[in-house]
Protein backbone atom coordinates (compact mmCIF):
# COMPACT_ATOMS: atom_id res chain seq x y z
CA UNK A 1 0.00 0.00 0.00
CA UNK A 2 2.79 2.38 0.87
CA UNK A 3 4.44 1.68 -2.43
CA UNK A 4 1.19 2.28 -4.31
CA UNK A 5 0.58 5.50 -2.39
CA UNK A 6 4.11 6.71 -3.15
CA UNK A 7 3.61 5.93 -6.84
CA UNK A 8 0.33 7.90 -6.96
CA UNK A 9 1.86 10.89 -5.17
CA UNK A 10 4.83 10.80 -7.50
CA UNK A 11 2.61 10.73 -10.60
CA UNK A 12 0.48 13.59 -9.25
CA UNK A 13 3.58 15.63 -8.56
CA UNK A 14 4.87 15.03 -12.07
CA UNK A 15 1.57 16.13 -13.57
CA UNK A 16 1.51 19.27 -11.43
CA UNK A 17 5.10 20.00 -12.34
CA UNK A 18 4.33 19.53 -16.03
CA UNK A 19 1.27 21.80 -15.83
CA UNK A 20 3.33 24.40 -14.01
CA UNK A 21 5.98 24.29 -16.74
CA UNK A 22 3.31 24.69 -19.41
CA UNK A 23 1.86 27.65 -17.51
CA UNK A 24 5.27 29.36 -17.25
CA UNK A 25 5.89 28.71 -20.95
CA UNK A 26 2.50 30.24 -21.80
CA UNK A 27 3.27 33.33 -19.71
CA UNK A 28 6.65 33.75 -21.41
CA UNK A 29 5.09 33.35 -24.85
CA UNK A 30 2.38 35.90 -24.04
CA UNK A 31 4.95 38.32 -22.65
CA UNK A 32 7.10 38.03 -25.77
CA UNK A 33 4.08 38.60 -28.02
CA UNK A 34 2.96 41.75 -26.25
CA UNK A 35 6.53 43.03 -26.06
CA UNK A 36 6.93 42.58 -29.84
CA UNK A 37 3.51 44.13 -30.48
CA UNK A 38 4.23 47.19 -28.35
CA UNK A 39 7.69 47.70 -29.79
CA UNK A 40 6.28 47.50 -33.31
CA UNK A 41 3.49 49.90 -32.41
CA UNK A 42 5.84 52.42 -30.82
CA UNK A 43 8.54 52.43 -33.51
CA UNK A 44 9.58 55.89 -34.69
CA UNK A 45 9.20 56.45 -38.42
CA UNK A 46 9.63 58.91 -41.28
CA UNK A 47 6.52 59.13 -43.48
CA UNK A 48 6.61 59.29 -47.28
CA UNK A 49 3.61 60.66 -49.18
CA UNK A 50 3.21 60.87 -52.98
CA UNK A 51 1.46 63.85 -54.58
CA UNK A 52 0.82 62.91 -58.21
CA UNK A 53 -1.56 63.91 -60.98
CA UNK A 54 -4.04 66.76 -61.03
CA UNK A 55 -4.65 68.43 -57.65
CA UNK A 56 -8.41 68.74 -57.27
CA UNK A 57 -10.38 67.54 -54.25
CA UNK A 58 -7.42 65.46 -53.08
CA UNK A 59 -9.08 64.20 -49.93
CA UNK A 60 -6.96 61.04 -50.19
CA UNK A 61 -3.78 63.04 -49.61
CA UNK A 62 -5.35 65.22 -46.92
CA UNK A 63 -6.56 62.13 -45.03
CA UNK A 64 -3.08 60.59 -45.12
CA UNK A 65 -1.51 63.81 -43.86
CA UNK A 66 -4.02 64.07 -41.01
CA UNK A 67 -3.31 60.49 -39.88
CA UNK A 68 0.44 61.09 -40.10
CA UNK A 69 0.16 64.28 -38.04
CA UNK A 70 -1.77 62.49 -35.28
CA UNK A 71 0.80 59.69 -34.95
CA UNK A 72 3.04 60.33 -31.92
CA UNK A 73 5.91 58.31 -33.42
CA UNK A 74 6.30 60.57 -36.46
CA UNK A 75 9.86 61.89 -36.77
CA UNK A 76 9.84 63.36 -40.28
CA UNK A 77 8.00 63.63 -43.60
CA UNK A 78 9.09 63.31 -47.24
CA UNK A 79 6.64 64.53 -49.89
CA UNK A 80 7.39 63.15 -53.36
CA UNK A 81 5.73 65.44 -55.92
CA UNK A 82 5.08 64.78 -59.61
CA UNK A 83 2.17 66.98 -60.67
CA UNK A 84 1.39 69.83 -63.09
CA UNK A 85 -0.79 71.50 -60.44
CA UNK A 86 -4.50 71.97 -60.02
CA UNK A 87 -7.01 74.20 -58.29
CA UNK A 88 -5.85 76.96 -55.97
CA UNK A 89 -8.04 75.85 -53.04
CA UNK A 90 -7.09 72.15 -53.17
CA UNK A 91 -3.39 73.04 -53.42
CA UNK A 92 -3.67 75.50 -50.52
CA UNK A 93 -5.39 72.84 -48.37
CA UNK A 94 -2.43 70.50 -48.87
CA UNK A 95 -0.05 73.39 -48.17
CA UNK A 96 -1.82 74.09 -44.86
CA UNK A 97 -1.64 70.42 -43.80
CA UNK A 98 2.06 70.25 -44.64
CA UNK A 99 2.75 73.46 -42.72
CA UNK A 100 1.08 71.97 -39.66
CA UNK A 101 3.26 68.86 -39.89
CA UNK A 102 6.44 70.87 -40.54
CA UNK A 103 5.86 72.75 -37.28
CA UNK A 104 5.98 69.39 -35.51
CA UNK A 105 8.77 67.52 -37.35
CA UNK A 106 11.21 68.18 -40.23
CA UNK A 107 9.35 68.04 -43.58
CA UNK A 108 10.90 68.00 -47.07
CA UNK A 109 9.67 67.87 -50.67
CA UNK A 110 11.36 66.12 -53.58
CA UNK A 111 9.97 67.19 -56.98
CA UNK A 112 10.60 64.61 -59.69
CA UNK A 113 9.73 65.37 -63.35
CA UNK A 114 7.17 68.12 -62.77
CA UNK A 115 6.07 70.26 -59.83
CA UNK A 116 4.43 73.37 -61.22
CA UNK A 117 1.66 75.81 -60.31
CA UNK A 118 -0.54 74.31 -57.56
CA UNK A 119 1.93 71.44 -57.01
CA UNK A 120 4.66 73.95 -56.28
CA UNK A 121 2.28 75.87 -54.01
CA UNK A 122 1.55 72.70 -52.02
CA UNK A 123 5.27 71.90 -51.79
CA UNK A 124 5.89 75.26 -50.13
CA UNK A 125 4.30 73.75 -47.02
CA UNK A 126 7.53 71.85 -46.30
CA UNK A 127 10.71 73.45 -45.00
CA UNK A 128 12.90 72.29 -47.89
CA UNK A 129 12.26 71.62 -51.60
CA UNK A 130 14.72 69.48 -53.57
CA UNK A 131 14.73 68.84 -57.32
CA UNK A 132 16.68 67.18 -60.10
CA UNK A 133 18.53 69.41 -62.59
CA UNK A 134 15.98 68.40 -65.23
CA UNK A 135 12.91 68.93 -63.05
CA UNK A 136 10.34 71.37 -64.40
CA UNK A 137 8.93 73.69 -61.74
CA UNK A 138 7.60 77.22 -61.36
CA UNK A 139 4.54 78.32 -63.37
CA UNK A 140 3.69 80.43 -60.34
CA UNK A 141 0.39 81.95 -61.28
CA UNK A 142 -3.37 81.59 -61.68
CA UNK A 143 -5.33 80.94 -64.87
CA UNK A 144 -9.00 81.21 -65.81
CA UNK A 145 -9.99 79.91 -69.24
CA UNK A 146 -13.18 80.25 -71.24
CA UNK A 147 -14.28 80.71 -74.87
CA UNK A 148 -16.52 82.98 -76.94
CA UNK A 149 -18.89 80.69 -78.85
CA UNK A 150 -21.35 83.40 -79.91
CA UNK A 151 -20.12 83.57 -83.53
CA UNK A 152 -20.23 79.78 -83.88
CA UNK A 153 -23.77 79.64 -82.49
CA UNK A 154 -24.81 82.46 -84.82
CA UNK A 155 -23.50 80.53 -87.83
CA UNK A 156 -25.47 77.51 -86.67
CA UNK A 157 -28.59 79.62 -86.35
CA UNK A 158 -28.72 79.25 -82.57
CA UNK A 159 -29.54 82.25 -80.41
CA UNK A 160 -28.78 81.75 -76.68
CA UNK A 161 -31.41 82.91 -74.18
CA UNK A 162 -29.81 84.06 -70.93
CA UNK A 163 -31.70 85.25 -67.86
CA UNK A 164 -29.59 86.30 -64.88
CA UNK A 165 -29.83 88.47 -61.79
CA UNK A 166 -26.83 90.70 -62.49
CA UNK A 167 -24.58 91.83 -65.34
CA UNK A 168 -21.52 90.01 -63.94
CA UNK A 169 -23.37 86.80 -63.04
CA UNK A 170 -21.84 83.68 -64.73
CA UNK A 171 -18.89 85.67 -66.11
CA UNK A 172 -17.11 84.27 -68.07
CA UNK A 173 -19.89 82.64 -70.06
CA UNK A 174 -19.06 81.09 -73.47
CA UNK A 175 -22.59 81.94 -74.64
CA UNK A 176 -22.05 85.69 -74.13
CA UNK A 177 -19.67 88.15 -75.75
CA UNK A 178 -16.99 89.48 -73.46
CA UNK A 179 -16.61 93.27 -73.10
CA UNK A 180 -14.01 95.49 -71.43
CA UNK A 181 -15.94 95.73 -68.17
CA UNK A 182 -16.25 91.96 -67.82
CA UNK A 183 -12.62 91.44 -68.83
CA UNK A 184 -11.48 93.98 -66.23
CA UNK A 185 -13.60 92.23 -63.60
CA UNK A 186 -12.04 88.82 -64.36
CA UNK A 187 -8.52 90.25 -64.44
CA UNK A 188 -9.09 91.79 -61.03
CA UNK A 189 -10.10 88.41 -59.55
CA UNK A 190 -7.13 86.62 -61.13
CA UNK A 191 -4.68 89.30 -59.98
CA UNK A 192 -5.88 89.00 -56.38
CA UNK A 193 -5.32 85.24 -56.41
CA UNK A 194 -1.96 85.74 -58.14
CA UNK A 195 -0.85 88.17 -55.44
CA UNK A 196 -1.74 85.64 -52.75
CA UNK A 197 0.38 83.02 -54.53
CA UNK A 198 3.39 85.29 -55.13
CA UNK A 199 3.31 86.66 -51.57
CA UNK A 200 3.26 83.10 -50.24
CA UNK A 201 6.34 82.23 -52.32
CA UNK A 202 8.05 85.46 -51.26
CA UNK A 203 7.39 84.72 -47.58
CA UNK A 204 8.33 81.05 -47.63
CA UNK A 205 11.41 81.39 -49.86
CA UNK A 206 12.64 84.83 -48.73
CA UNK A 207 13.00 86.06 -52.32
CA UNK A 208 14.63 89.26 -53.48
CA UNK A 209 12.92 91.66 -55.90
CA UNK A 210 14.73 90.26 -58.95
CA UNK A 211 13.46 86.73 -58.24
CA UNK A 212 9.94 88.00 -57.57
CA UNK A 213 9.85 89.72 -60.94
CA UNK A 214 11.05 86.54 -62.67
CA UNK A 215 8.39 84.29 -61.14
CA UNK A 216 5.51 86.77 -61.42
CA UNK A 217 4.90 86.24 -65.15
CA UNK A 218 4.14 82.51 -64.64
CA UNK A 219 7.16 81.11 -66.52
CA UNK A 220 8.54 77.61 -65.85
CA UNK A 221 12.09 76.82 -64.72
CA UNK A 222 14.41 73.84 -64.83
CA UNK A 223 15.65 72.61 -61.48
CA UNK A 224 19.00 74.25 -62.10
CA UNK A 225 17.39 77.61 -62.90
CA UNK A 226 15.03 77.34 -59.95
CA UNK A 227 17.97 76.86 -57.58
CA UNK A 228 19.64 80.04 -58.86
CA UNK A 229 16.61 82.18 -57.96
CA UNK A 230 16.09 80.34 -54.66
CA UNK A 231 12.61 78.90 -55.24
CA UNK A 232 14.09 75.43 -54.47
CA UNK A 233 16.95 74.15 -52.35
Using one digit for the tens of pLDDT, what is the confidence trace for 132-165?
999 999 999 888 788 888 888 889 998 888 888 8
Catalytic residue list contains 10 = no
Structural contact between residues 13 and 5, judged by C-beta atoms closer than 8 angstroms:
no
Rg (CA), the chain: 32
pLDDT digits (tens, 9 = 90+) for 85-123: 999 999 999 999 999 999 999 999 999 999 999 999 999
Q: Which one is catalytic: 21, 169, 177, 228? A: 169
Q: 12 versus 51: which is more confidently predicted?
A: 51
pTM of the model: 0.76
Task: Please say if 14 is a catalytic residue.
Answer: no
Helix spans in the chain (H): 2-41, 59-70, 88-102, 118-123, 150-155, 180-205, 209-215, 223-228
Helices (H), 80-179: 88-102, 118-123, 150-155
Query: How many percent of the chain have pLDDT more than 90?
Result: 58
Write down the catalytic residue from 91, 97, 102, 117: 117
Amino acid sequence: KDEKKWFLNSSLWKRKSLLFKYFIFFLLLTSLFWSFHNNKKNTDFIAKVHLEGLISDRFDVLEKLDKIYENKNLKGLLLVTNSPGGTFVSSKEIFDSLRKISEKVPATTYIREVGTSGAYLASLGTEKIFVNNGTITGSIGVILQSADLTSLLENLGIEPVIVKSGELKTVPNPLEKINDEKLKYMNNIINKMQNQFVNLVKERRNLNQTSIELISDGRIFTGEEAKKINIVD
